[in-house]
Chain A
């Protein structure tokens, strides 16, 4: 009986005791907390304060009254955006651009890695990789500039096409070409670099597996399908969740650079809209609401994709 009372007491004191133990730890290792402090402080200032600042999405922000002083308007800006005539077009543009980018941009590095893996001379492989990585080091401004130069009505692409047709195509002012230009210039720049991680994973495959499969008469394609691809599956799962979670957060930078007044019907996406309505037109509250809408959809999407991949990948997801 006495013992039971004792354990009860022990359970009761355990919580404050734990707190106490933690405080002791922090006191003893305060240096560790000092080391992490700069990162924490800057994150609060530049990441968490803006989340608080996003309150202006529910207000009519006026620079004179400030964030707190401005009047609440509830979901007015959200309904304004959702009922605006170009809402559907912007949303569809965003989803189309990023999901096509994912569909094309995701498998290509994997295929590239499988192809590189077949090269037996490591010197040749190294040199090819060197070339494949190069575009990654070119800035997005220069890539876009090259796109404009190459696709201009007097540019080299039209010069080649001129053999077949006599009317030059002005690629950058036709909305129908925007998505292809965006996606394939992205593949040109990023596929080689994105293949690194798969090439490394393939290097870990035990060569004896391939030898044994060869003895059993497996063809090259069979071995790739049954040995190489399963090796890549975990990496693929993680990268796919990350990429799919970023669907709504599609890179503003290149879309904005490749946008011309003529191709806006397909190039205006949420991010460019936020920038133009917010910083260029000064419509702060409305732009913040649009951005917030985007961020929330993004989080929902990430959780959803994570669940799906978990199901397909034997319970292994990212979160």
Chain B
């Protein structure tokens, strides 16, 4: 098992803030909008350096999405910022008609996704957003795993023509992606080559997958670990190549098992190469209040769950 280390834990949203600030200095077409969560989204640096290109919309997310769509007409590249819940479900029809169907070059940047939002509870913990967004034709869907990957993704999506949903989170998590790693939309990242089971993880579950891989190695199991940061378009080639070798797969995500990464992988496998699959995800449930660690433990989104799922799926081969 390849060894992964990190210097410190840091939140993915800070990676977004850093990436956006860099874009502010390098790309004058980039504009940013925020619905009263500038500090939470780490957009202050961009705002302070580019006040004329920053739009505070107030607590009015529907209007924010429409403003963003309109700003593209005239050549701007708008980045919207609010929590994942308010970036998707609250404004689904605005995104659907004014952004996706209209083919507008808007980057919908969503923080505090999933259970790890923590104590605020289920009203704010969206576990359905990947499904909502991947169903929109033409929408690119990205869920990053650490600070460096989020920063790189933020910069990369500015160069991509078309609507993008970029999902990240609140808590400090290990920052293990090399700072110079190029972010390629739609391209899987091979974290560890193995032969017994494929573990495909996205977002905060990627570090858990690495830890699971170490635990499995101690038990003599060789896990291939793939980081899928782009859920749509999905890197089907990487997935099929790996499963052809291992014969089974575990998917891991901080999202409902309905509509998430796991279902996209299952569709790929059932179409091209049927293979046993286990899902580490929430099971059609809302979240609740608690610390991020308590919640991930209670809802089975951790390395122990991935290890158990790996052993289970291997037995089904």
Pair from one complex: no
